[in-house]
Structure 1
Amino acid sequence: MSQTITASPSAANTASNAITGVDDIVGAVEEDIVLGRLHPKERLVEEDLIERFACKRHVVRQALFQLESIGLVERIKNRGAFVKAYTAEEVENLYAMREILELSGVEALPLPAPQEWLAELEAIHQRYSAAVDAHDLRRVFHLNIAFHRTLFAASGNPYLCQTINDFAQMAHGIRFIAIADSASLFQARHEHHAMLEAIRDEDRARLRELCRAHLLPSKNRYLRLYQQAFSESSTAP
């Protein structure tokens, strides 16, 4: 049976106390969405954000605009800003694009791998593995980003790398289910390790399949949750 892991509230509060800028607010709200502190369709109240981050209204509004531009928040006229809730079709389309982009990134990776790049990936994976063991979801989240950005940065194409990062960031509103589940975290750690082995073995075909499979768990969990919610709403009296 999988175990649900909760993030430490004190870590979130500590981070919030030092926040003043737009980018910092965006990062904090993004983290809250991924770690399940904020849920799809949950309203983001400007007054609450102003109080939380001790900042001006225009700063909060700019942060919400930025969150909307990266696909994590949707703003509805006369209703306000809400955490983005993806439809099944949107999820399928988003992950189809992620697969195309990331497999293109794999094709562009240098094999045999430069030792400095491989050593950096291995070091990040070791820290990621320790964070999984410690159930430190905040570090897991940030180190997972670091692992994938470092992986595809070696493609040599900064435009491709940035687009991969943009679509991965857009999917943070979908990944919250997987990151809160310990079995999913252990599976992701195993897959990262397997990717490193494929790189060491200069096996691009295996790396390609591993990267494709790595996208599926969070996507499938979200779709199951969406289908369950849809079924419940359709049968409600």
Structure 2
Amino acid sequence: MPSPNMSSRDLRRQLEHEILLGELTPGTRLDEVALTERFGVSRTPVREALQQLSMMQLVEIRPRRGAFVKKMSLRELVDMFEVMAELEGACGRLAADRMSDDERATLKELHKASEVMVKERDYDGYYRANVAFHEAIYKGSHNEFLSEQTKNLRNRLTPYRRLQLRQSNRLTSSFNEHSEITEAITSGNKALAEQLLSAHVTVQRGSFNDFLASLPMDLIDQTA
């Protein structure tokens, strides 16, 4: 049950969590009255939480219209995926060079565990497994700054990457790509690990353009 003593920080964390999980999708209006009723708090912590989310670029506050989960322009989305590919590639290269034997074993286990989710078409379960798999690579890079920056950008793209997995045959393709990535990293092939992870994130071979074309019109800011 929501607590009337929830702080603006608590509210911000809860809404941030829902945005990053894709439960509150880009374009969703965050009505102050509805939020005060939902969490059982006054409007002051709600307004403060929305201001904090606005500073984090997760929410857009429009004069006389209210707060909305922020949409990205098509150009911004493409740019962010491009940077994400570079960051992931760097993590893969370093992980192939620096992972311990235990970390390599963990990566293999995480990959194997996701196979049942592919067979069952469990999109949400696979997404969670996907996050764990990639975070194991970030950690295995043994570069805390790179790991943190990669996770931050990954979180910003979460609603879009969740949708990406629902493309036709994407679960199977993603799993197969993870197989190649796991082999490259655990065998210490730095160049191949970097190449595979970069391609994996941008979903090359023509499917990234298909993904962009498949996005709902209200998910992207068409005017930016």
TM-score tier, shorter chain, comes to 0.7 to 0.9
Moved more, 201-210 or 44-53: 44-53
Within the alignment, does 1:77 sit opposite 2:63 as a pair?
Answer: yes
Which whole-Å CA distance do the structure 1 matches of 2:146 and 2:90 have between them? Answer: 8
Structure 2 unaligned spans of 5+ = none
Number of equivalences: 211
2: CA distance, partners of 1:129 / 1:62: 43
* Matching of residue 210 in structure 1 with residue 196 in structure 2: yes
The TM-score, its normalising length taken from structure 1, stands at 0.73
Deviation at 1:224, TM superposition (A): 1.6
Give the 3 Å change call, closer, same or farther, for CA 40–164 of structure 1 in structure 2: same
Q: Cα deviations across residues 103-155 of structure 1 (Å, max 9, x unaligned)?
A: 22233224374221012212222333333333333332322222111101121
Q: Which moved more, 1:198-207 or 1:19-28?
A: 19-28
1:30 aligns with 2:20: yes
Match of 2:29 among 34, 38, 43: 43
AA at the equivalent of 1:127: A
Question: How far 1:56 moved relative to its partner?
Answer: 5.0
Contact map agreement 2:96 2:187 (CA 8 A) in 1? no
Tell me the residue number matched to 2:149: 163
Alpha-carbon spacing, 1:24–1:85, altered in 2? closer, same or farther (3 Å): closer
Q: Paired residue for 2:213?
A: 224
Quick one: distance in 2 between partners of 1:198 and 1:158?
A: 22
**Residue by residue, what CA displacement relative to the aligned partner does 1:179-233 show, whole Å, maximum 9, x if unpaired?**
333511221111112111112332222211211111123853453246978xxx9
Give the percent of matched residue pairs that are identical in Structure 1 and Structure 2.
26
| 1:197 and 2:183 aligned | yes
d(CA) in 2 for partners of 1:103, 1:38: 29
Alignment CA distance shift 1:143-1:85 (3 Å): same
Q: What is the deviation of 1:93?
A: 1.7
d(CA) in 1 for partners of 2:16, 2:53 = 6
Evaluate the alpha carbon distance shift between residue 64 and residue 133 of structure 1 in structure 2; reply closer, same or farther with a 3 A threshold: farther
CA deviation after TM superposition for structure 1 residue 162, in Å? 0.3
91, 98, 109: which one aligns with 1:123: 109
Aligned to 1:91: 77
Match of 2:124 in 1: 138
Structure 1, unmatched stretches of 5+, are 1-16
Taking structure 2 as the reference length, the TM-score comes to: 0.77
Q: Which residue of 2 aligns with 1:3?
A: none
Question: What's the counterpart of residue 183 of structure 1?
Answer: 169
8 Å contact 2:96–2:185 — kept in the other structure? no
What secondary structure is seen at the aligned counterpart in 2 of 1:111? Answer: helix
Verify the 8 A CA contact 1:40 1:84 in the aligned structure 2: yes
SS in structure 2 at match of 1:78: coil
Cα deviation for residue 63 of structure 1 reads: 4.5
Contact 2:88 2:201 (8 Å CA) reproduced: no
